[in-house]
């Protein structure tokens, strides 16, 4: 399988007093744990978080999300399947899900922005829900991307994805007396061994030359062998 690491990634959160909807659906958030969208500390990177407390007659909520941009422009083949990998820091505390996003300018052309906080689309999930019990602590976790994600990659040569808490954030269900968080590593960490990445397969292209004057697009088999399984004909590439 081929591998593409995240070209851009960040965490954005909203921490405020008010109603659940005013916090979850806010148009802007704050930079990640390190105070800078591009230079936060990977050792304390809050991948997702759902928090609630009550005090002095008001409710306070924290919603944290992560955003990733993967550039597939160098891939000329057709992607047929893919998985996303995240590496947890400590013990996970959330059911999670990955959904479509138009962060980073929608095409990866801009840097992370706190106004990307609400740039996610729960109507287009790119994975199934991943229960917290299925996430490994301090380890790599590989999650299958669905057909909507594959189709977007093949159409747009990129994938922008938001990782969010499933139980409260994705489901839009207000937490009560809760503090659940899942920390992950980002590309800002040293090296690439724990970086977020996508591994993927591409369709076999097979033999691509004209045979006896017939264009390869019109050839399904040569001597009964599918062209996808042919590298050479009589020793010729």
User: Comparing C-alpha atoms, which of 49, 58, 62, 48 is closest to residue 15?
Assistant: 62
Q: Which two tokens stand for residue 154?
A: 């093949």
Instruction: Specify the residue for token string 């922008």.
Output: 160
Per residue in 67-89, pLDDT (tens digit) is 999 999 999 999 999 999 999 98
Instruction: Report angle CA 76, 77, 81 to the nearest 5 degrees.
Output: 135
Q: Which two tokens stand for residue 32?
A: 């990640």
Q: In sequence order, what are the beta bridge partners of 226?
A: 221
Q: Are 13 and 64 in contact (CB under 8 A)?
A: yes
Going from N- to C-terminal start, the domains of the chain cover: 2-202, 207-237
Position 234 confidence tier, pLDDT thresholds 50, 70, 90: low
Q: What is the pLDDT of residue 191?
A: 85
Per residue in 90-131, pLDDT (tens digit) is 999 999 999 999 999 999 999 888 999 999 999 999 999 999
User: Cα separation of 237 and 135, whole Å?
Assistant: 45
Per residue in 129-148, pLDDT (tens digit) is 999 999 999 999 999 999 99
30-34 long-range CB contacts below 8 Å, 24 or more apart?
30/114, 31/114
Per residue in 17-76, pLDDT (tens digit) is 999 999 999 999 987 754 444 444 444 478 999 999 998 889 999 999 999 999 999 999
C-beta neighbour count of 210 within 10 angstroms: 11
Output the CA–CA distances (angstroms, integers) from residue 207 to 2, 57, 219, 225, 237, in the order listed. 21, 71, 9, 11, 8
Chain centre to alpha carbon of residue 237: 38
Q: Is 29 exposed, middle or buried (0-12, 13-18, 19+ CB in 10 A)?
A: buried
Per residue in 176-222, pLDDT (tens digit) is 999 999 999 888 888 899 999 999 999 987 656 666 666 555 555 55
User: Going by DSSP bridges, is the β-strand pair 140-144/79-89 parallel, antiparallel, or unpaired?
Assistant: antiparallel
């Amino acid at each position: 399988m081929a591998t593409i690491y995240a070209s851009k990634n960040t965490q954005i959160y909203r921490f405020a007093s008010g109603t659940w909807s005013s916090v979850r659906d806010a148009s802007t958030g704050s930079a990640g744990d390190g105070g800078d969208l591009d230079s936060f500390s990977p050792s304390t990177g809050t991948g997702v978080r759902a928090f609630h407390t009550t005090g002095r007659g008001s409710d306070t909520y924290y919603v944290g999300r992560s955003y990733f941009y993967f550039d597939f422009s160098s891939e000329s083949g057709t992607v047929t399947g893919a998985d996303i990998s995240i590496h947890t820091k400590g013990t996970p505390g959330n059911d999670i899900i990955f959904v479509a996003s138009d962060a980073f300018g929608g095409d990866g052309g801009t840097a992370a922005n706190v106004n990307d906080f609400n740039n996610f689309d729960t109507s287009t999930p790119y994975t199934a829900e991943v229960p917290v019990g299925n996430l490994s602590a301090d380890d790599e976790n590989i999650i299958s991307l669905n057909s909507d994600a594959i189709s977007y990659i093949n159409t747009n040569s990129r994938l922008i994805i938001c990782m969010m808490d499933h139980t409260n954030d994705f489901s839009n269900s207000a937490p009560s007396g809760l503090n659940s968080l899942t920390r992950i590593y980002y590309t800002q960490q040293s090296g690439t061994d724990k970086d977020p990445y996508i591994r993927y397969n591409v369709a076999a292209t097979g033999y691509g030359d004209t045979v006896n004057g017939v264009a390869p697009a019109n050839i399904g088999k040569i001597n009964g062998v599918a062209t996808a399984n042919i590298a050479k004909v009589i020793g010729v590439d």
